[in-house]
Amino acid sequence: MLTMIVDNDHWVLSGISRLLETSDLDLEIHCFDNAQDAIAFALKHRPPLVIADVEMPGCNGLEMCNKLRNEYNPRLVIISAYDRFQYAQQAISLGVIHYVLKPIRQNEFLDVIRKAIEIIEIEDESKAKQTKIMETKFFLDIASGRMNSVAVDEYIQLIEPQIKSQSVSLCLMHIENHAMLVSMMQKNPMKTTSQNNYIIEEAIKECPTSVSFYEIRHGYYLFMIFGNHSKFIEWINGIFQLAKDNDCIASAGISQKTNDKAKFRDLYNQAVRALQREFTDGSGKVYYYSGNQSDYLVSKKYDLVHLHSYSTLITNSMVFSASFSCPNNEIDDLFDYIRKSNIKQNDACLFCKELLLLISMELMYIMESKPSEFHSLYEENLQSSRTLSELKTRFEACIEDIYKNIHKKMMTKSDSVKLVVDKMLRDDCGLVSLDTVADKLNIHPTYLSILFKETVGVNFKTYVLEYKINKAMQMLVTTDIPVYSISDKLGYMDVTHFSRVFKKQAGMTPGEYRQHASQKT
């Protein structure tokens, strides 16, 4: 922990420094024999712990501490050869942790410093949690276009000292270029997502400490960079290499730097506009924003937060809908948002086209299909819609088309699903799970769950549970196998859990069921 000691008495200064350096405390100590040099150092480096003598020529320790408190909030330990009420009163008003009288007793002084460090660490932990919450709200708001929200104002105020001293810029990184993703989806859709997760997890380990980031939508990461870009560029090029090694592509758009908090709100638009060059100049690069166009508003096509939210909402409504009808409530909600946001007609069309693409990609992953299976004949007409009402009608028609394709695909596979599940249950029901059956059929577990419910009429979990309970009943009546062995054969690791499940289904414990059956015979 960075610690500053200030005392014009060189013997005292060196004595305190030596005491702390030879202790078990992890401190980076800087010593000053005058307040002027100490203030200059503190304002630049902001040491969290300041130890200062009261009586010094020119500017005494209390005056120095008061100046520091007006700039930032260090924890203060005051030392003095004078037991004066006036000094103690001033120290209390400054929030001093301890007022230490000379001559300094080593063990007592070390206890004081330990207490100060503990207070600082607790405060830092609490501040870090609060800052993370504020940072998350900030990232979400600027990515949603809410540049004037309370969360954005509060966070800009929080980081204003860093903006002034180091400058700040924003970077928007995109992993999963659409064209590349569609190509990969045709080969191995499940592999793509796991690869991207691996890429980010590995890259985060080396994330520069001067960078904050947030995943604003799957595949889109927003970074806030303080100071020089060199370490960040080196780091992000490492991500690009990881992406290339894993058959993915990553690109990034970086805004201009600013030391002016008033211009900070322009940076996200700049980063997005820089990244848009990916679609014309190619991917796998870092693009820098250039041009005096910071007042230009980014198209709603790139409102990534709402795009992700509505694509997830509509997709979930579709894949978990038993009736396979158009999710009217979700689409109504979508167009209420578009209407209330006063989005221009052209931007609304772009937003809906991008949303339809995201929905199609999510379905390709879940249902392991080719892109053509989720292409609608009405999709090309979205851009030519002249009114919001016409756009909504055409968007609903696109979703209806996709629904029909899903239903058709499910029906072609439905005949084999129950046969495979029943065979696996007969062979070894203890090994049967949604994942093992999905692996056997070479389909996604979520798709299997939907397909099974549509085909059999009950969900997969209920069907397997009923089979296992009936199998257990049969074994309890016709064999002398112990209950714990039956539990193990049926795939239950804990016999107590098996007994609870059995009782819930049969109305009695396995032992009671066996006894009841033997009494009947």
- Give the span between the Cα atoms of 289 and 320, in whole angstroms: 42
> What pLDDT score was predicted for residue 150?
82
Contact 274, 288 (CB under 8 A): yes
Ranges of each domain in the chain: 2-123, 167-295, 304-412, 413-520
**CATH T-level topology, domain 413-520:** Arc Repressor Mutant, subunit A (1.10.10)
| Cβ neighbours for 206, distance < 8 A, ≥ 6 positions apart | 235, 238
Averages of pLDDT over each 10 residues, the chain, 521 residues = 90 90 90 90 90 81 83 85 63 72 86 90 83 82 73 83 85 67 42 53 70 76 88 86 76 89 83 70 75 47 62 70 63 86 81 78 59 55 85 86 69 69 85 83 73 80 91 90 90 86 91 84 62
Catalogue the long-range contacts made by 270-279 (C-beta closer than 8 Å, 24 or more residues apart): 270/170, 270/294, 271/169, 271/170, 271/171, 271/172, 271/222, 272/172, 272/298, 272/302, 273/298, 274/172, 275/172, 275/174, 275/251, 276/302, 277/253, 278/174, 278/177, 278/251, 278/253
- For residues 50 and 38, give the distance between their C-alpha atoms in angstroms, rounded to a whole number: 10
Q: Return the pLDDT at 84.
A: 63
CATH architecture, domain 167-295: 2-Layer Sandwich (3.30)
CATH number listed for the domain at residues 2-123: 3.40.50.2300
pLDDT at 18: 92
Question: What is the reported pLDDT for 192?
Answer: 45
Cα-flanking dihedrals φ and ψ of residue 418, to 5°? -65, -35
Please give the pLDDT value at position 281: 57
Torsions phi, psi of 220, nearest 5? Answer: -120, 125
For strand 168-175 and strand 49-53, is the pairing parallel, antiparallel, or unpaired? unpaired
Residue 32 bridge partners (DSSP): 6
What's this model's pTM, rounded to 2 decimal places? 0.48
The answer to whether the beta carbons of residues 191 and 365 sit under 8 Å apart is no
d(CA 472, CA 349): 57
**pLDDT at residue 295, as a whole number:** 40
